[in-house]
Amino acid sequence: MTNMMKLTEQQRVHWATDGYLHLKNVLTPEEVEAFSQEVDSMRQVPGWEPSPEGPRGHYTWMDHTPDLDTTGNMDRRELLPYHSSFIDLVDRPNVFDLIVDIMGPYLLLSMTQAIVRTPSETFGGYIHTDGGEALRRIRVTETSRPLAMKAMYLLTDMNETGIGNFTVFPGSHMRPFPEDASPATLNPKTPGAVQLCGSAGDCIIFPHSLWHGPSPNPNGEARKTLLYNYCQLFVRAYDFETVASVKDRCTPRQRRLMGDLGHPFRPGSYTYAPEDQVEVIMNGAG
Ligand SMILES: O=C(O)CCC(=O)C(=O)O
Taking only the tens of pLDDT, the chain with its 286 residues reads 578 999 999 999 999 999 999 999 999 999 999 999 999 999 999 999 998 888 888 999 999 999 999 989 999 999 999 999 999 999 999 999 999 999 999 999 999 999 999 999 998 888 899 988 888 888 888 889 999 999 999 999 999 999 999 999 999 998 877 766 677 777 888 888 999 999 999 999 999 999 999 999 998 899 999 999 999 999 877 776 677 789 889 999 999 999 998 888 888 888 899 999 999 999 877 5
Side chain identity, residue 105: P
Residue 91 and residue 221: Cα distance in Å, rounded? 30
- Among the listed residues 194, 178, 104, the one whose alpha carbon sits nearest the alpha carbon of residue 143: 104
Ligand 1 and 40: CB distance under 6 A: no
Ligand 1 mutation target, pool 79, 150, 204, 227, most atoms within 8 A of CB: 227
Q: What is the CA radius of gyration of the chain?
A: 18
CB 45 within 8 A of CB 70: no
Domain 9-281 class?
mainly beta
CB 214 within 8 A of CB 188: yes
What's the gap in Å between 124 CA and the centre of ligand 1? 14
Chain centre to alpha carbon of residue 26 = 15
Q: Is 181 helix (H, G, I), strand (E, B) or coil?
A: coil
Residue ranges of the alpha helices (H) in the chain?
Answer: 9-18, 29-42, 84-88, 93-103, 132-135, 243-246, 252-257, 277-281
pLDDT given at position 143: 85
Domain range summary for the chain, segments of one domain joined by +: 9-281
pLDDT given at position 283: 84
Backbone phi and psi for residue 281, each to the nearest 5 degrees, phi listed first = -70, -35
pLDDT given at position 176: 78
Residue 168 and residue 14: Cα distance in Å, rounded? 14
pLDDT given at position 80: 95
**Alpha-carbon distances, residue 113 vs 62, 78, 82, 104, 183 (angstroms):** 15, 6, 12, 23, 24
Ligand 1 mutation target, pool 128, 166, 196, 226, most atoms within 8 A of CB: 166
pLDDT given at position 204: 98
Angle among Cα 31, 35, 37 to the nearest 5 degrees reads 120
DSSP character for 247? G
pLDDT given at position 34: 98
Side chain identity, residue 23: L
pLDDT given at position 91: 97
- Among the listed residues 207, 188, 25, 40, the one whose alpha carbon sits nearest the alpha carbon of residue 129: 207
Which residue's CA is minimally distant from atom 6 of ligand 1?
213
pLDDT given at position 93: 94
Residue 23 and residue 15: Cα distance in Å, rounded? 12
Q: What is the pTM of this model?
A: 0.95
Which residue's CA is minimally distant from atom 9 of ligand 1?
227
